[in-house]
Structure 1
Amino acid sequence: MRPSIIFRALLGIFLLCATATFASPARAVDATETSVQVVLDSLLPIVPTTDSTLRITGRVVNGSTSALVQPRVQIRLSTSVLNGREGIDAEIYGPASSSRVLTTIDLKTDIAPGSQSGFTFTLPFTQLALTTQGTYSLVINAVQANQTMGSIRTYLPWFPSSEKMPRAVGVVWLWPIADYPARTATNVLLNDQTPVALSNGGRLTGLIDVGREFSSTLSWMIDPSLIQSADHIGRGYQVVQDGEIVVGDRSSNASRWLNDLRAAITPSNSHAFTYADVDAVADRRNGLSADVVRAMTVAPTIATSILQSPVPGGVYWAPSGRLDQKTANVLASAGATTVVLSSATMAGDPNVPRQGITDYPTSFGNLNAVLTDQRLSAALVMPQRSASEVILARQRFLAETAAIAQSPVARANAPLTVVAAPSDVRWSPVPSFLRSVLRATQSAPWMIPTTLAALTNSPRGPSDRLAYASGERQELTTAYLTRLKAVHAKISQLTAVQETPGPVNTAYSEALLRAQSSAWHEQPSTGVELLTSISRELTTQINQVRPTSSGTITFSGDSGNVPVTLANDSDSAVNVGLSLIGEPSSRLESAAKSGIVIEPGQKVSVELPVRILGGDPLPTKVQVLTPGGASYGTAASITLVSTAYARAAGWVVLAAFGAITLFVVVGITRRIMQARATDE
């Protein structure tokens, strides 16, 4: 047997045993035997000092079918600080460190099934006998008859000085403001998701409310398509509800949200990333690099216009935190200066913290590769459904940053700066969690808040990226983007006929960028619905330039002129061509006409000379053309009839009748003459 297999087996046995004992005299009960839970209501202070008092309140919740008899709460603290990030991980799976009992609290009364009982613990830190600064493991057990019935485990960082450490780690907070861009080219919202998020209590409102309090600590990362949607919603909007388009009622909320964002940001702490958070890798793979360039270049213009303040662009936030070389080249060619990646894209031990910026070489020079710390990202998106989960997520974030500050890398490479950011720009944190970790970033002695601008001017870490492999992240599918390219072709047609391409073209181009958002990784059906809606709207727009002719046109001969009326119901002057196509085409001779200019809201009449072959009615399509000769819009149908062949056929019949009559007369005459000759 190989040594690695033996090691894994022994490790599994060790973890199993550790989970069962957890350095406690109380025996742990298997999770299948109980549903007793310990939950936390508060754990304060967030950043303790020497003069602080540890205060813990919580509850024991009995979800089992049996009463807890004479229950007690046991609070334990590790006897030594955890060994960096490895120590944090070890505590997740079981008690890797020895612990001591701080106190045991008798809950006085039994806890019936479905009931709960609260507890409170208070003790000055001076009495905790903490001799070394660092992060300790804190465990709270619910005990019955020396059996652990339920438990909760978290972390307690202890850095008693209120002064910043000489080697405190710099923390850059990236604050993404983005949503699911389900808005069509005519600004109809496919659902209420964004208006609700912009309203009181909504996800985006929470981000702005907290962000305004800590604006100087944050680097705002703004999706221009979101603030564009907020602007449209604020002016009055339509939304699809139960399959029908109705007028929305959250305009005032959107306007208020947008004003709050304007008040929160400054040109120095705000950045616009690519419009609609497009999936640049998928786009580039599927021949849509031009759209990646467009999404990058329009971003700062839109953001600056709506926010009424200069907002620099040039930022691409990689949806999975990963980016391939060819796409990086495309981004750099479009003027990108910064890409946001995950530290998981870099080679080396993920537990070893690294400088939050490195170089990403491209064919057009180096990009700033901002590296979000993958473990901090994981802490930011931990479950936050209750006060207890918020406390666990907060303490995990504090423990992670404390471990970074005490790491050998931080001690050897001061100043070390890391980047705190969620793994998804459409994150949904609880405001109370955000406030607690942001206050800690400002006040904790092991952290110093800094900005993205400062990070880009700081020393670079090694650029040892892992190879990008297709399939290691979810991308927009080739089938989906093939459909999108077909819609793209319609936009090209629309642009081709317009004398001066205007806002309508921009609206459709931006709508297609929204259809390329990485948001549709999570909501693929909404992405398909958006693309279908854009295509349908575009067909309607194209068909505003159309032939209005119908019915049957009869010619006295085999040739003549076909009168056609063309209508332009659009807002732009167009330059089109016109052709007639017989069915079958071999029966109709007709030259296409080009250079037909129609002003907006006007109609023009043109005549096309034709020659018809054959006497049967000829179904004919009246097709509008682009200046390049491609079909444009939906063809009209008419029928062409020539009477020339009918008259010719009449003369043939008359001549034949005359010939037959003459033949008959001659025959009869000959017989009569023969009969007379016989009689004589």
Structure 2
Amino acid sequence: MSTYRRRLLPALLAMVLVMLGLAWFPAAAATIKPEFSVRISALTPAQFKPGSTVTMSGTVTNNNLSAWTNVQAYLVMARAPYTSRSQLDDAISSSTTYTGERIVDLDAIDMMGDLPAGQTRPFTVTVPYELLRVSGAAGVYPVGVQILGTDAAGNRSNDAIARATTFLPMLSSAPKDKIAASIGWPFLMPDYRGSDGNYVNPAKLLASIGTGGQLRNLLDLARSLSSNQSTVIVDPALLVGVDDLANRRHIAKTVKVSDVQVAAATSFLDELLTLARNGSCWIVGFDRPDVLALEQNADLAPALRAAVDKSTTASLDKYGLIGRRITWPTRLGVTPELLKSVRGPGDQPVIVNANDVNGWSRRDGSLVQYQTDGGPVPLLIDDAIDEGLPGQESVVSLRQRIMSESALAVLLRAIDPSAKTDAVALVDSNWDPGADWAAGKLSVAFRSPWISGASLDTLLTSPLGAFEGSFPATAEASALSRAQLTAAARIRSQAQSLNSILADKSASQVRYDQDTARATSVRWRKNRATGLAIARSAASRAEKELAKIAIEGPQSVTLSSSSGKFPLTIRNDSGDAIEVGVRLDSSNPALTIPDISSTAIDAGERHTLTVNVDVGEQSSTYLSAQMISSDGKPVGSPAVFRVRSSAVGAVLWVAIGLAALLVVVAMVRRFTQHRSEEEPA
């Protein structure tokens, strides 16, 4: 039998089976949407060429409560390519039929068998070029896998129960000018500290940075590229958090951290810092603050922004890291006023989602310059070519995204040579490339003949085009509440008072600045009650710490004359040494008492001061003793007491003296008279 007949008969048989399946499949079953996860883990070739055999591998996970039987995997590919980004976007947004035609040749089908509930099965489909029946034109071909199966009730449909899609680029020749391509790797802090000051889920973070964990896999994948092909985006809160775990800090007593976990945390931190130091590094504000909430509360914003900035700077100094500061608002949370408020010196990029921008196109490039009322600000437009595609994101889908985006950029430049097209991919911070990330061969993308690797800093320092589009006047996103920011401001206010008298201000200031920054984190949008409770708890801790330092005096003082001395005691029950002075104010404006200069008091100690006072002719006055910092700012609550004037005491003593004298005189006279009466005549 000829090769043609051997392939024709199975194909006809498959078509008959499909038609029979359609004839008896109950319509009601189509209303039940099965839950599967499909992930493409390997795809060859990465660059489609005439004559190429396409092989796709991956996994299918059954997320249903029952098993599916007779599961099959089919390759699906479009016969004609898309040649522009707009064509591709329209196809993705309109339907799911754009992927192409299912290859039903029996040799191209993976008979996966049964798939029990909760189980994962691998698949591999291989289709030779002649069975794809593609046009061979230059462009980007959608390609994917569709999964068919029979449910527990015996129902089977010709409709796919699961699918995953990516792209295959094809270019006839390499362009003269290559397309700049780059990947942004966000490393954000997933955990937070609760009301007790301890991390809420340290075990989860330890697992994430350990072998096979999400952050560990992401870091390993990022390290697999050259420094001129990507940029790491670091949240300093993650550095602090991992460092805390490596040193067993801020962990509840019930949580045990093994030596192996300590070593894993130390290794992760060291390797992340090495990657950031040796390449392009962007820095997001400590714990990613809600910049929309800050913009909407202008009266609270300066102090809170200062806390975020100081927390960020202190972390970078501690870990020896230098990077470009950036702002990262949330989706649907960008307005012209916000961009003006976060502009800074004008060289700090703002990451915005393409869906928040009006009037932007790929020809403008991923990095553009936007003119605010306060001056220009660079924007990085996050625009994923594969957003909305079925299937889990994988290293392969990221690789093909970079290659396909750049291929479309080549085609656009052929028509519009002035276009500033590029290919930038900003990956999801929660994305897990998997422990098998190496199988995806991400570096292959940067070996494409039409791609030139670049960091985001390289793209930023190139001439940027002016963005003439617009942003919504008001944000759709719901920012943090004013109550949340007010609680954050309380933390900073109390901390500033405390820091002003501490002998060693640095450690305490960093600690409370970080607490303030954490209270402004955008993470609390999803858990507002918890965020508010934690912020208020942190403010209360600062207030209680400040209350451990107090000034004490007698309720009242009676001087022996118009001037005199009395004691004041400063109590330092905190765990830090302090330097504090005292200011005395009187209810009598005519009475002025000089400030007492700062005195050093160790932790847990008390210090008694002697105050000299002269009240003059006043009968009494009230004095207020207020602790002050070295720069004269009031700290804590004052001690108020009454001082009785010594002038009243002098009159009393004179009166008592005169009375005593009169008594003596009277007694003498009485005694003398009595003696006279007793003498004989």
TM-score (norm 2): 0.71
User: Counterparts of 2:246 and 2:182 in 1: how far apart (Å)?
Assistant: 32
Matching residue within 167, 183, 187 for 1:157: 167
Matching residue within 312, 319, 332 for 1:306: 319
Matching residue within 354, 373, 377 for 2:383: 373
> Aligned residue for 2:513?
509
2:208 matched to 1:207?
no
Letter of the 2:187 partner, please give it.
I
> Aligned residue for 2:97?
95
| CA displacement at 1:546 relative to structure 2 | 1.9
2:107 matched to 1:122?
no
Letter of the 1:632 partner, please give it.
V
Moved more, 618-627 or 217-226: 618-627
CA contact (8 A) 1:272 1:303 kept: no
2:260 matched to 1:259?
no
User: Counterparts of 2:510 and 2:262 in 1: how far apart (Å)?
Assistant: 24
> Aligned residue for 2:598?
597
| CA displacement at 1:301 relative to structure 2 | 6.4
User: Counterparts of 1:156 and 1:238 in 2: how far apart (Å)?
Assistant: 43
Matching residue within 215, 221, 227 for 2:239: 227
Structure 2 vs 1, CA of residues 294 and 463 (structure 1 numbering), >3 Å: closer, same or farther?
farther
Letter of the 1:219 partner, please give it.
T
Q: Could you say what secondary structure the match of 2:581 adopts?
A: strand
Which digits, 9 at most, give the CA deviation of each residue in 1:609-657, with x for residues without a partner? Answer: 599xxxxxx9999764567887633567999999999x99xx99xx9xx
Q: Could you say what secondary structure the match of 2:251 adopts?
A: strand
CA contact (8 A) 1:405 1:447 kept: no
Which digits, 9 at most, give the CA deviation of each residue in 1:476-497, with x for residues without a partner? Answer: 2212112222232223323444
Q: Could you say what secondary structure the match of 1:317 adopts?
A: coil
Letter of the 1:594 partner, please give it.
D
| CA displacement at 1:356 relative to structure 2 | 0.7
2:426 matched to 1:416?
no
Letter of the 1:314 partner, please give it.
R
Matching residue within 170, 180, 200 for 1:170: 180
Structure 2 vs 1, CA of residues 432 and 162 (structure 1 numbering), >3 Å: closer, same or farther?
farther
CA contact (8 A) 1:357 1:370 kept: yes
> Aligned residue for 2:3?
none
Structure 2 vs 1, CA of residues 184 and 215 (structure 1 numbering), >3 Å: closer, same or farther?
farther
> Aligned residue for 2:535?
531
CA contact (8 A) 1:547 1:564 kept: yes
User: Counterparts of 2:81 and 2:88 in 1: how far apart (Å)?
Assistant: 9
> Aligned residue for 2:327?
316
| CA displacement at 1:167 relative to structure 2 | 6.9
Structure 2 vs 1, CA of residues 365 and 497 (structure 1 numbering), >3 Å: closer, same or farther?
same
Q: Could you say what secondary structure the match of 1:574 adopts?
A: strand
- Residues 417-496 of structure 1 correspond to what in structure 2 (within 5 A)? 417-422=422-427, 426-431=429-434, 436=440, 438-439=442-443, 441-443=445-447, 447-496=451-500
Which digits, 9 at most, give the CA deviation of each residue in 1:447-473, with x for residues without a partner? Answer: 543211221233434413423433422
| CA displacement at 1:443 relative to structure 2 | 4.4
Which digits, 9 at most, give the CA deviation of each residue in 1:578-606, with x for residues without a partner? Answer: 5699xxx99xx997763342213152323
Which digits, 9 at most, give the CA deviation of each residue in 1:15-52, with x for residues without a partner? Answer: xxxxxxx9999478555555667765766424154444
Q: Could you say what secondary structure the match of 2:97 adopts?
A: coil
User: Counterparts of 1:247 and 1:536 in 2: how far apart (Å)?
Assistant: 29
2:73 matched to 1:80?
no
User: Counterparts of 1:74 and 1:501 in 2: how far apart (Å)?
Assistant: 65
> Aligned residue for 1:670?
none
CA contact (8 A) 1:398 1:437 kept: no
CA contact (8 A) 2:334 2:352 kept: yes
> Aligned residue for 1:633?
636
Q: Could you say what secondary structure the match of 1:472 adopts?
A: coil
TM-score (norm 1): 0.71
Structure 2 vs 1, CA of residues 150 and 550 (structure 1 numbering), >3 Å: closer, same or farther?
farther
| CA displacement at 1:212 relative to structure 2 | 1.4
User: Counterparts of 1:33 and 1:206 in 2: how far apart (Å)?
Assistant: 38
> Aligned residue for 1:238?
250
Moved more, 248-257 or 598-607: 248-257
User: Counterparts of 2:629 and 2:643 in 1: how far apart (Å)?
Assistant: 24
User: Counterparts of 2:36 and 2:358 in 1: how far apart (Å)?
Assistant: 39
Matching residue within 274, 278, 282 for 1:271: 282
User: Counterparts of 1:71 and 1:248 in 2: how far apart (Å)?
Assistant: 43
CA contact (8 A) 1:548 1:636 kept: yes
Q: Could you say what secondary structure the match of 1:474 adopts?
A: coil
CA contact (8 A) 1:136 1:158 kept: yes
2:586 matched to 1:576?
no
Which digits, 9 at most, give the CA deviation of each residue in 1:150-191, with x for residues without a partner? Answer: 433443634457975557643221111221473599985454
CA contact (8 A) 2:582 2:596 kept: yes
Structure 2 vs 1, CA of residues 61 and 197 (structure 1 numbering), >3 Å: closer, same or farther?
closer
| CA displacement at 1:558 relative to structure 2 | 11
> Aligned residue for 2:43?
45
Aligned residues: percent identity?
16
Q: Could you say what secondary structure the match of 1:276 adopts?
A: coil
RMSD across aligned positions (CA): 5.2
CA contact (8 A) 1:183 1:229 kept: no
| CA displacement at 1:219 relative to structure 2 | 0.6
Matching residue within 341, 359, 380 for 2:369: 359
Structure 2 vs 1, CA of residues 110 and 439 (structure 1 numbering), >3 Å: closer, same or farther?
closer
Moved more, 395-404 or 447-456: 395-404
Structure 2 vs 1, CA of residues 185 and 130 (structure 1 numbering), >3 Å: closer, same or farther?
same
> Aligned residue for 1:135?
141
Which digits, 9 at most, give the CA deviation of each residue in 1:45-73, with x for residues without a partner? Answer: 241544444245767969698996x8876
Moved more, 354-363 or 555-564: 555-564
Q: Could you say what secondary structure the match of 2:269 adopts?
A: helix
| CA displacement at 1:533 relative to structure 2 | 4.0
Unaligned runs of 5+ in 2: 1-17, 616-620, 660-681
Letter of the 1:230 partner, please give it.
V
| CA displacement at 1:420 relative to structure 2 | 1.1
Structure 2 vs 1, CA of residues 501 and 44 (structure 1 numbering), >3 Å: closer, same or farther?
closer
Matching residue within 333, 337, 355 for 2:348: 337
| CA displacement at 1:535 relative to structure 2 | 1.9
> Aligned residue for 2:618?
none
CA contact (8 A) 1:356 1:372 kept: yes
Structure 2 vs 1, CA of residues 478 and 59 (structure 1 numbering), >3 Å: closer, same or farther?
closer
Which digits, 9 at most, give the CA deviation of each residue in 1:339-377, with x for residues without a partner? Answer: 222223322377x66411111234664332222215556
